[in-house]
Amino acid sequence: MQIREYIPEDSSYLTKILYLAVHNIPTDIYTREQQNAWAPISILEQNLNLTKTWVCLIDDTIAGFIDFILSKGHINYLYTHPNYQRKGIASLLYEKVETEAIRLQIEKLTTDASKVALPFFLHKGFTLERENIVERKGVEMINFTVSKIII
């Protein structure tokens, strides 16, 4: 596995990973309506130029990515392609962000974790701050704000 910085040519594949990862969540956790509101095809193209993004490659194929808002210490996206889940990719990407945050002396990391991602972040030492009801395209769903002091 190799981590490298995002390049604009990655955009369409990262959008595909986000879409597939969200739409692979069982519908008893997030309904299809919630998944469609959460991950429309165009979501990433609007955001990636404002953040720091890394991708994880396996045999020259992007297997996952993490997107980080440096100015806020906020992990915006962390997704792994369904074919590559449970192989340590999310952990490797998270470690890259934490290392970079420490280097930049960012004191605290935050994210808004889905029901599926919450156990991952708790395992990485994040603390649950609150449960949120968020609305996307008129559809409500639950996520969780979590944080971790790193310095």
Q: What is the pLDDT of residue 70?
A: 87
- E-strand stretches of the chain: 2-5, 52-58, 61-69, 74-80, 108-113, 127-136, 139-149
Q: How far apart are CA 93 and CA 77, in angstroms?
A: 11
Which pair of structure tokens corresponds to residue 110?
């935050």
pLDDT tens, N- to C-terminus, the chain (151 residues): 999 999 988 988 888 898 999 999 999 999 999 998 888 766 555 555 568 999 999 999 999 999 999 889 999 999 999 999 999 999 999 999 999 999 999 999 999 999 999 999 999 999 999 999 999 889 999 999 999 999 8
Q: What is the pLDDT of residue 108?
A: 97
| pLDDT tens profile 37-51 | 888 766 555 555 568
Q: How far apart are CA 75 and CA 112, in angstroms?
A: 8
Closest CA to 133 of 46, 1, 45, 37: 37
